[in-house]
Amino acid sequence: MENDLTLLKKELRKTALIKRRAMRPEKRVAESHGIFKQLRDFELYKQASCVFCYVSVEDEVQTREILNQVLADRKKLCIPYIAEPKTRIMTAARLNSLDELKPGYWDIPSVSVDNYHEVNPVEIDFVVVPGAAFDKEGHRLGLGGGFYDIFLKKVRNAALVAVAYECQLMDEIKVMDHDIPVDYLLTHNGIIKCSK
């Protein structure tokens, strides 16, 4: 059963990523900007004091506007830091300026070892979650590494907020016991409170 589900997730992930990559660049920019505006005006974001947000690459929902806004709002900003890829351990690294970003694991922008200051996950109260696909129950299909599922178990006090292009929404995503659902889905069209 587990193997069937793993295969199904692999196929769904492949389909979702093909759709995401097929988006026209101007549509990607427009939807990312719409998502940014939804997040900026979201009450839970306004109340947050420590925000964890991924640094986007390639065809992901673009997060530079979000990162700049968090810094402009003088909130504590932290980003993913992967020190030990083999153990799938991802930590939260403090980011004070986008100028600190350097290519990290898999060339994903992060902070350098010299500039690494870990933030305790308990401090984080708002997490911007990436993914390949999502459903309205908050189930998430990641990229298959398992980094986020392990990390999200540690951020017990945070609102888990996924950002997604419209093409990333699916009717249903089958999940395993270790998969952590998100609380909200943000698209350029609005905010969906997930019915977990």
Q: Does the annotation place 156 within a ligand binding site?
A: no
Q: Does the annotation place 136 within a ligand binding site?
A: no
User: Looking at residue 139, which CATH number applies to its domain?
Assistant: 3.40.50.10420
Mean pLDDT of 100-110: 90
Q: Does the annotation place 174 within a ligand binding site?
A: no
pLDDT single digits (tens) 11-61? 888 888 889 999 999 999 999 999 999 999 999 999 999 999 999 998 999
Q: Which residues span the domain enclosing 31?
A: 2-193
pLDDT at 54: 96
pLDDT single digits (tens) 130-148? 999 999 999 998 877 788 9
Q: Does the annotation place 185 within a ligand binding site?
A: no
Q: Does the annotation place 131 within a ligand binding site?
A: no
First to last CA, the chain: 23
Tell if the pTM clears 0.85, that is, is over it: yes
Q: Strand pairing of 50-53 and 126-129?
A: parallel
As for how many domains the chain has, the answer is 1
In DSSP terms, 185 is beta-bridged to 162, 192
Q: Does the annotation place 104 within a ligand binding site?
A: no
Sorted by sequence, the CB contacts under 8 Å of residue 12 that are 6+ apart come out as 132, 133, 141, 170, 173
Mean pLDDT of 144-160: 88
Q: Does the annotation place 152 within a ligand binding site?
A: no
